[in-house]
A = this chain, B = another copy of it.
Amino acid sequence: MQVTPELLSRFDLLKPLPRGALEQLAPHASLARFARRAVALQAGVREDKVCFLFEGRLQGVGFTIDGREVGLYFVEPGDFCGELALFDDNPQPEFVIATTAASVVYVARNPLREVMLNTSTVSNTIGRKLAERVRQMTMQRTLLGLSNIPQRVCGQLYLLINEAQRKAESSEIANPPTHMEIAIMLNLSRETVTRVFQALQSRRIVRRDGPSRLIVSDLASLRRFAQGEEEL
């Protein structure tokens, strides 16, 4: 489907671009819609496009040889993924799949690469993004090193809370990941995650409010569990 320059300019990365650059990119962009669990980017192949998320939610996942799924990160609307293709010709390392119905804009790799090289704000943004991604993965890897499993779950939960909300007493997570999705990110079984949630709920630390809102009533306790100052 055809993409207008206006649509492209709604993404933070492309917003600073002059009209001309957007018009140059638009013909190389296309819109796509995905159902839940559909694949937006393939692992192991040299993807020739970058994926901008318009609505819904995506997740980067890997698969081990034995078919186990490995959750890596989430992509929220306005953000993009598959940017590794802009740096070299090596294959995309992980799958990106839709965790909810989603609509995305694909932008062809080469024209975008041109724009990146000519526009310092774009290359800076992508550089920062990549750096942030490395930090994110490092934190995630550190979480996996925790041998106390409830602590691991609490740590993940704490990471899911917006930094802006960290200071408040209570907080809420909109569209929280399912237990299964959390389990996959933390190398745990779904049952274990459920049991930790049970414990947190019985202690009034978290509470569900409908399917799409998870309320953290006692953020301070959650932090203590996450930091191992207290045992679950």
A residues bordering B, Cβ < 8 Å? Answer: 62-66, 68-70, 72, 84, 86-88, 90, 93-94, 117, 120, 123-124, 127-128, 130-135, 137-142, 144-148, 151, 187, 227-228
Question: Are A145's CB and B68's CB within 8 A?
Answer: yes
List of B residues within 8 angstroms of A147 by Cβ: 66, 68
With CB as the reference atom, state the residue of chain B lying closest to A92.
B135
- Taken together as a complex, chains A and B put the C-alpha atoms of A128 and B90 apart, in Å, by 10
Question: Are A87's CB and B131's CB within 8 A?
Answer: yes
With CB as the reference atom, state the residue of chain B lying closest to A140.
B141
Question: Are A138's CB and B72's CB within 8 A?
Answer: yes
List of B residues within 8 angstroms of A146 by Cβ: 64-66, 68
- Taken together as a complex, chains A and B put the C-alpha atoms of A228 and B187 apart, in Å, by 18
**How many whole Å from A190's CB to the nearest CB in chain B?**
14
- Taken together as a complex, chains A and B put the C-alpha atoms of A64 and B138 apart, in Å, by 11
- Taken together as a complex, chains A and B put the C-alpha atoms of A187 and B144 apart, in Å, by 8
A/B interface sample: 5 pairs, CB < 8 A: A62-B138, A62-B145, A70-B141, A88-B131, A130-B130
**How many whole Å from A102's CB to the nearest CB in chain B?**
21
Q: A62: which of B93, B132, B142 is its contact (CB, 8 Å)? A: B142
A131-B84, A131-B90 known; A65+B144 contact, CB < 8 A: no
Q: Which 5 A-B pairs have the closest CB atoms?
A: A87-B131, A70-B145, A93-B138, A62-B142, A87-B127
List of B residues within 8 angstroms of A135 by Cβ: 84, 90, 93
List of B residues within 8 angstroms of A141 by Cβ: 62, 70, 72, 137, 140-141, 144
Highest count of chain B CB atoms <10 Å: which of A88, A135, A141: A141
With CB as the reference atom, state the residue of chain B lying closest to A88.
B128
Question: Are B133's CB and A134's CB within 8 A?
Answer: yes
List of B residues within 8 angstroms of A86 by Cβ: 127
List of B residues within 8 angstroms of A123 by Cβ: 123
List of B residues within 8 angstroms of A90 by Cβ: 131-132, 135
